[in-house]
Each structure stands twice: as structure tokens, then as C-alpha cells.
Amino acid sequence: MPGSMRWSSCSGRAGTRTRVQLRIAALEFLAHYADPHAVIRLGQARLTRFLIARSRGAWRDDHAAGLITAARETLALWGTSDGSDGMDFAELAEDIAHEAEQALFLTRQIKQIDGESRTSTPTPTRPASLSLLPEWGR
């Protein structure tokens, strides 16, 4: 759809560290604002501030506008003829928020373990017993 925000394009051509930060920002967005009603209520200015803070400035007005457009399109897609939602977005948002929080928790745990393993792993050395063998002692 024209104007739709696609999460698959969130990382663009950014470096690895930036892509990871943008994925974390996407998870934080989903943890807080998976309900399209909440995105629209938040408004573009506050959503822009949220995105700037979480993406370290990589996402700004254009991403906020895209997310608000996607929220409106979602509501239009799932709306019924009587004007009500065809889905319980609040309940779905709770489920998505839970999954996003789990992903954020696991991401933090992996980062912590990775950091600990880098600081505590000794430099591999050749065992002294191998140095005694003629072909290994060189």
C-alpha cells in the first residue's frame, strides 16, 4: 500500500550496531504502542520524540508519520460497517507487548552474556605438552 510503514525496511543500509539499535527501538515501540488506537492518540509530535529517543535519532518525523498512516490503514482494514473494530486491538496489543518485552529481555540477556564472555575468556595458548612434540614446537 502506498504510504504504509513496513518494519522490514526499518534498518535500511545502516551498520550492524545501528540495525540492532533500530530493531530494539521497533520492539520498544511494539511493547508500548501495538494498538493502532494508541498510536493515533499519541500523535505525531509525541511519537516522533519517542522514536528519536529509542532509535538514537535515526527515526524522526517521517517514521512517525508512516506509523500513524499504518495505524489508520489498519483501523480502516479491520473496521466493520457499523463503525466498530472488527478485532479487539487492546487484547492483541497486550499479546504483542508481552512478546516484545520477552524479546527485549532476551536481547539484554544475550548482550550481557556476550559482554561477560568477552571479558572473561582467556587468550587461548598452546598447551605445553604440544610444545614438546617436534612438529608442534616450532
For residue 53, pLDDT over 80 is answered with yes
Report pLDDT for 19. 85
**In which band, very low, low, confident or very high, does the pLDDT at 9 lie, cut at 50, 70 and 90?**
very low
Report pLDDT for 116. 74
Mean pLDDT, residues 86-103: 95
- What mean pLDDT value characterizes the chain? 83
User: Residue 85's beta-bridge partner residues?
Assistant: 79
Mean pLDDT, residues 45-65: 96
Identify which of 30, 31, 28, 36 has the alpha carbon closest to the alpha carbon of residue 54.
28
Distances 71 to 36, 42, 77 between C-alpha atoms, Å: 5, 11, 10
Please count the other Cβ atoms lying within 10 Å of the Cβ belonging to residue 137: 9
Report pLDDT for 132. 58
